[in-house]
Structure 1
Amino acid sequence: TPLSTIMSSVDLIGRYTDDARNEKVGKHVDRIRGKVRELTGILNDFLSLDKLEQGLVACHPAPFDVLDLCIGLIEEMRTLAKPGQAVHFDHSGEVREACTDRQMLSNVVSNLLSNAIKYSPEDRPIHLRTAITNGMLSIQVEDQGIGIPEKDQVHLFERFFRAGNTVSIQGTGLGLNIVRKYLDMMGGSIRFDSREGAGTTFFVEIPMTSESPH
């Protein structure tokens, strides 16, 4: 695709740039990478929604290491992060193996992390926490961002809905709607706690199963 071609070219520029002498070039390369990832995310939202609504997506549970998944996603998010932002990851307990649809879970977590980055100011931490207990995978994504106005919270998972305090921030209003659809297919659930100006925490729970619930 054109976006993947742009990203490949940017990666080549970054590879052959000596950041010690061309610090400004390196910063611009990182900025371009971030914007390409944003555009790719927007395109993927529309493609994912179309496939979901046509019934072209199926849940395929399989075992995988949830730590490896999350660490990889955090690395991917690095180019989207604002100056001073960092994602802090903590996994509780010794059980690391999850059994659900890996790609769907990846889409869910990456969407929540990208939202946390997008709606948080510079120099604010973002926390990703996971645990697997009693056959249930629990995920928390916490930010210290702009929060969600109380009057908008009931509409948050509606297609194309965007909270009133996000008008100046790029987005489609599709991400959380897609997240909920994926979680429905995995038999999972999502809720959140938010206060305007004080940040948001999303709580996801997914049962570990060897069979698709849908």
Structure 2
Amino acid sequence: MRRAKVKKENPPVRLLGTMFLLVLGLVVVYVVLALGIFALVQQLVHLDKANYTLLWPILILTISAILGVLLAVFIFRGYLAPLSRLMQATQSVASGDYSVRVEMRGARGEVAEYIRSFNKMAEELSGVALLRMDFVNTFSHEFKTPLISIRGFAKLLQNDDLTPEQRQTYTNTVVQQSERLAAMSTHILELAQYENTEIVSGKTLYSLDEQLRRCVRQQERDWLQKGLTVEGDLDQVDYYGNEELVEHIWSNLLSNAIRFTPAGGQITVVLRQSEGEITVSVSDTGIGMDEETQRHIFEKFYRAAPYPDSRGNGLGLSIVRRVVALCGGRVAVFSRPGKGSTFTVTLPAAGE
């Protein structure tokens, strides 16, 4: 997988051309003004002659002066003043102030377009900064919780008066929290990699139904321990994509279904291919979700309450959404509290 190359923009030729024409017009006006002054001086020198009059030189001077003033005001208000505000705002953004916005007052033409683009860029940067701050805060909290637990139970294990049962319980907790940290680190690295990926490479044509069966078998131990039943209704489908990347979708969806389905429940995987698209749905008879949870379920570190255990980290579905987007597909969820959930992934059935 590789990043898409950013297309370099050409220099602002239109703005330079407009400014050149305006400045050229201003030069022409002042040349005419200078010629008018020269003509006026000539008239004054020959004022004693009857056929000389001051009317035309004065009229030329007046018109040239008015045009010069109007053109100068137009250039300043329409171009120089907005560009000055844009430069000041750019310096503010460079210093880390993403809340700055440039007023559109007096801006026109290409300068107005640049200001609109700048304001949009500043708004995006502000949103990214807020997301980054929220991510760091949440990330720190999520890492701090298992670390405190590990430290606490490690200190308890130093006590020589523990019974074998207590020592085993504390050891299991340390191992469990360590595994949670390891899984969280892996998921964060995966998510960071996928969020910085725009083009998926390494595509091959492979059996999607066989991939789903393999993912179910890989988690067989987990669903058998809970006494769950896993059923599949899979069409024979060949899919052209990055096999390793797509497998993260099914692994995370199945893991979630196993985690949120009580003992004795059922998980159903359905694969269908229609004209132009492939649909995979993973359904469970678990605890379900309310509408508020469904609105946030794909956000980073979001974990619905009540959460069945401490193994999750709220990143699995974020990875699912990003990978599905990279594949050009979409993911949706339908759920009701106490009635289970169904996650549906739709992928384009593109040929090789």
TM-score (norm 1): 0.73
- Pairing partner for 2:276 from 129, 135, 140: 135
Q: Greater relative contact order (Cα 8 A, min sep 6): structure 1 or 2?
A: 1
- Name the structure with the higher helix share: 2
Give % identity.
Answer: 28
Aligned with residue 122 of structure 1, among 257, 263, 267: 263
**One of 71, 85, 97 as aligned partner of 2:228:** 85
Q: Tell me whether 186-195 or 98-107 shows the greater mean CA deviation.
A: 98-107
Q: Match for 2:250: what amino acid?
A: V
Q: Which residue of 2 aligns with 1:193?
A: 334
1:170 to 311, 329, 335: 311
Alpha-carbon distance change, 35 to 205 in structure 1, aligned in 2, over 3 angstroms: farther
**Alpha-carbon distance between aligned partners in 2 of 1:136 and 1:80, rounded to the nearest angstrom:** 31
How large is the Cα RMSD of the aligned pairs?
2.5
Unaligned runs of at least 5 residues, structure 1: 1-33
Name which one, 1 or 2, has greater alpha-carbon Rg: 2
TM-score with structure 2 setting the length: 0.46
Q: Aligned partners of 1:174 and 1:194: how far apart in 2?
A: 19
Write the deviation string for residues 67-101 of structure 1: whole angstroms up to 9, x where unpaired. 21111111101122233112211113xx4211222
Q: Secondary structure at the match of 2:300?
A: coil
- Which residue of the partner structure matches residue 213 of structure 2? 71
Could you tell me which amino acid in structure 2 is paired with residue 156 of structure 1?
I
CA contact (8 A) 2:227 2:265 kept: yes
For residues 144 and 36 of structure 1, the distance between their equivalents in structure 2, rounded to whole angstroms, comes to 30
Distance in 2 (alpha carbons) for counterparts of 1:77 and 1:196: 25
- In structure 1, C-alpha distance between the alignment counterparts of 2:201 and 2:290, rounded to whole Å: 33
The structure with more strand, counted as a fraction of residues: 1
Partner SS state of residue 306, structure 2: helix
Cα distance, 1:178 vs structure 2 = 0.8
Give the alignment of 1:102-117 within 5 angstroms. 102-117=243-258
Runs of 4+ residues over 6 Å off in structure 1: 34-40
Pairwise CA distance, 1:56: 8.6
Could you tell me how far apart the structure 2 residues matched to 1:167 and 1:89 are?
25
Aligned residue number for residue 49 of structure 1: 191
| 3-state SS in 1 of match to 2:288 | coil
CA distance in 2, matches of 1:75, 1:35: 25
CA contact (8 A) 2:289 2:336 kept: yes
- Aligned letter for 1:84? G
Unaligned 5+ runs, structure 2: 1-175
Letter in 2 for 1:148: M
Whichever residue aligns with residue 218 of structure 2, its letter is: E
Q: Return the alpha-carbon distance in structure 1 between the equivalents of residues 226 and 243 of structure 2.
A: 30
Contact between 1:85 and 1:126, CA under 8 Å: does it hold in 2?
yes
Tell whether the 8 Å contact from 1:136 to 1:205 is kept in structure 2 after alignment: yes
**Residue type matched to 2:187 in 1?**
D
Q: Distance in 1 between matches of 2:206 and 2:296?
A: 33
Q: Shift of residue 187 of structure 1?
A: 0.3
